[in-house]
Structure 1
Amino acid sequence: MSMRMKALLVHLLTATGAVLSMLAMLAAVEGQWSMMFLWLLVALIVDGVDGPLARRYDVKTNWPIHDGELMDLIVDYLTYVFIPAYALWAKGMLQGPLGALALGALIYGSVIYFADTRMKTKDKSFAGFPACWNMVVLVLFALNPGPNVVLAVIVLLTVAMFLNLKFIHPTRTPRWHPLNLSVSILWLVTAAQSAWVEFNEGGIVHYLLLGSSLYLCLAGIAQQILPQKSIDRIV
């Protein structure tokens, strides 16, 4: 198979995210939250795979007709932001005027963030919280905290999109890469297990889901604070 054809197939793989987002949205409208998150997790896997493939087959050179980055951003906004935001409101996890205001800030702020050309740092991490609301909302569904906690988390992370805080990219940030990737896989497995059993698992699965989520949120900030050589001897 030629490199041009391989590059085209990568674009077509990215585009499947739009179909997955529709399947997730249809499930959400029916209140089938577990199925919605399972479709979103499949979309997350596709999003994690298509980037390395795009770089491997140099899609910008071998199939420049389509803009893979633009396609990726369109799909990401649907799967990372729009559908999870709908689920928050439809499930009643955000309510009242304050909840509506927080939801609007989430939606609006994420558009601004996705369009920011400074989104990526020099080490391929993210500058500010990368609007991964699909992951955040799944954890909220699994742990089912009170409405005040949900509101606080949404407000805090919405503000964090525009702060000078670093968030790791699970597959591209070079520092602590083996640990980052391992924790990301742990998060994916525990998230899938939680959704598969309709968030009734509890116990160790939820502790692992919460712990891996906290690591993914805080590892980049830790890298900003801790000297690289000393802490990397430990990690």
Structure 2
Amino acid sequence: MGFDPRHWSPQRETTSWESSASRQRVTSNVEALLRENDALRREVERLQQELERARRSQWQQPTAQAPARIRAAQVQAWGVALASQPGWSQLRQGALELLIDQLNRNSFPSRLSLQQRLDRLVSGLGTDLLAAVGPRTTKKTAAVLAAFALYGVRASEWLDEDPARVVSELHQRQTQASRRQTRRTRSDRRTRSDRRTTDREPAAASGNGEEEALAVLGLRLGATQEQIKQAFRRLVKRHHPDVGGSASAFRRVNEAYQQLVA
């Protein structure tokens, strides 16, 4: 399509018949080009309309829900497999739930629940797991949840391939968590006991009580109130029973501070 230069030469004089034939060919070519362009334009418009209809139908159709990654039957099968392993009877549902809570608090960030942690790792994994477990937690489902809290997204592999290893590690972690909880409880009891003893026993009279109190805080006479507060905060962090400090040392620091600010 288009003008063909072979049919025209500016160097040769043309007859009126040749000139008329040439004009007819040019006119014919132009009209053909216009018709072709018009056909192409209509085809582009048709394709654009089809594309727009396809987009609208995609928006209007509900998105197909992805299949659940974990199903209730799968959780039930895992629970049965765990219950048949050595050491299962030594696991306790309450201790497993405590273990899940501690593993969540030790993760980053600590404010996330198990469901939120798993959903962050694999979209929808935690939601599917909790839906498969259901609203009522049993020892078997608690063990499955503890396995996911311990192994994360790889828990399904361990539950499928080595349930005996899962029970063994859950028992080990359960024992460790129970010991930490026992130590924390004993520490709280000692702290409360020390506080009651301090309330019952008045401070012994001393001729130079202020100097002794400053010495407990590592200060000398003439220390400012701000220096006393800073020393108290530093020593409290060091001697607090919850961080492994001595209850008696913590009590002496507190008594010295109270005497200085009184």
TM-score, normalised relative to structure 1? 0.23
Structure (1 or 2) with the larger CA radius of gyration = 2
Question: How does the TM-score come out when normalised to structure 2?
Answer: 0.21
